């Protein structure tokens, strides 16, 4: 008696593994936090709105590293990450700040909010278009091009951090906030060389000091979050001129080295 066709042949089971789902689940969670931040802003719970965006930024830093650790990178994950970043660090901050301040500045306030949301989307689109090409001169020198989307969202909240700490009505002035958002939007899509934390290689002799500083920063974020976030934002902005000067120096050194290499040798 013959066996039915296919019997005895090992059936191939296809499906997604847990290893590939974990990074995408983290990205989806970050997207949910961004949406929930908008809900908190609608309810005028400004503390929760800002902290939810901050939490989305933490998850955004984890999903890519988790994917690389698990060897679970995929094009789907990259596209989902860009969509989540556009929502959490473009749309959510724009709407939160609009509801907090810019709605009191008719029409112009909405344009300022749009500037941040659109700039974030344009930055992510540029990154996706160049990710598989060599058109990233800043990256080859250890820098980023423009302010990253999560950092841009965090710095855009700077007037709000200070207002939550001091309750100073000047910090909520729509004209000031609108100008601030437009400046951040241009920094996000600019060709300015900015600091890449992954390229930093501190000396081993200061590793204990760095651990102490990291612990103090975490403690400050827990105990005095608005002061800590304000200091971090101001400190990051202070690194931008340094990054520009350092990148120019590196580019000049590379140009001089290339000119020396290509120069014809003169006979003795």
46-76 residue pLDDT tens: 999 999 999 999 998 888 888 888 887 788 8
- Structural domains of the chain, ranges and CATH numbers in brackets: 19-254 (1.20.120.1760)
Q: Helix H segments across 43-106?
A: 46-69, 75-86, 92-100
How large a percentage of the chain has pLDDT more than 70?
84
Q: Cα-atom radius of gyration of the chain, to the nearest Å?
A: 23
Whole-structure pTM value: 0.84
Q: What is the pLDDT of residue 138?
A: 58
Q: What is the pLDDT of residue 233?
A: 94
Q: What is the pLDDT of residue 179?
A: 95
Q: How far apart are CA 258 and CA 124, in angstroms?
A: 32
Q: How far apart are CA 193 and CA 195, in angstroms?
A: 7
Q: What is the pLDDT of residue 13?
A: 45
Low-confidence residues in the chain, pLDDT < 70: 1-16, 131-141, 198-202, 262-268
68: helix, strand or coil: helix
Q: What is the pLDDT of residue 172?
A: 95
Q: How far apart are CA 233 and CA 55, in angstroms?
A: 16
The contacts of residue 182 (CB under 8 Å, 6+ apart) are: 112, 115
How large a percentage of the chain has pLDDT more than 90?
51
């Amino acid at each position: 008696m013959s066996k039915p066709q296919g019997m005895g042949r090992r059936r191939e089971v296809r499906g997604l593994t847990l290893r590939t789902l974990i990074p995408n689940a983290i990205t989806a969670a970050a997207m949910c936090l961004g949406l929930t931040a908008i809900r908190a802003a609608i309810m005028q719970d400004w503390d929760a709105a800002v902290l939810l965006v901050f939490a989305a930024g933490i998850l955004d830093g984890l999903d890519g590293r988790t994917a690389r650790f698990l060897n679970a990178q995929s094009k789907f994950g990259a596209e989902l990450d860009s969509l989540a970043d556009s929502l959490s660090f473009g749309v959510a901050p724009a709407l939160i700040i609009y509801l907090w301040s810019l709605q009191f500045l008719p029409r112009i306030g909405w344009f300022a909010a749009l500037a941040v949301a659109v700039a974030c989307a344009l930055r992510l689109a540029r990154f996706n278009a160049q990710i598989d090409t060599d058109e990233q001169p800043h990256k080859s020198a250890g820098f980023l091009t423009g302010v990253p989307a999560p950092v841009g969202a965090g710095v855009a909240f700077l007037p709000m951090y200070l207002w939550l700490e001091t309750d100073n009505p000047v910090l909520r002035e729509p004209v000031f906030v609108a100008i601030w958002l437009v400046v951040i939007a241009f920094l996000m899509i600019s060709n300015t060389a900015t600091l890449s934390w992954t390229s930093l290689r501190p000396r081993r002799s200061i590793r204990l000091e760095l651990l102490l500083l990291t612990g103090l920063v975490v403690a400050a974020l827990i105990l005095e979050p608005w002061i800590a976030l304000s200091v971090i934002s101001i400190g990051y902005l202070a690194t931008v001129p340094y990054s520009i000067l350092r990148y120019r120096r590196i580019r000049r050194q590379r140009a001089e080295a290339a000119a020396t290499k290509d120069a014809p040798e003169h006979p003795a």
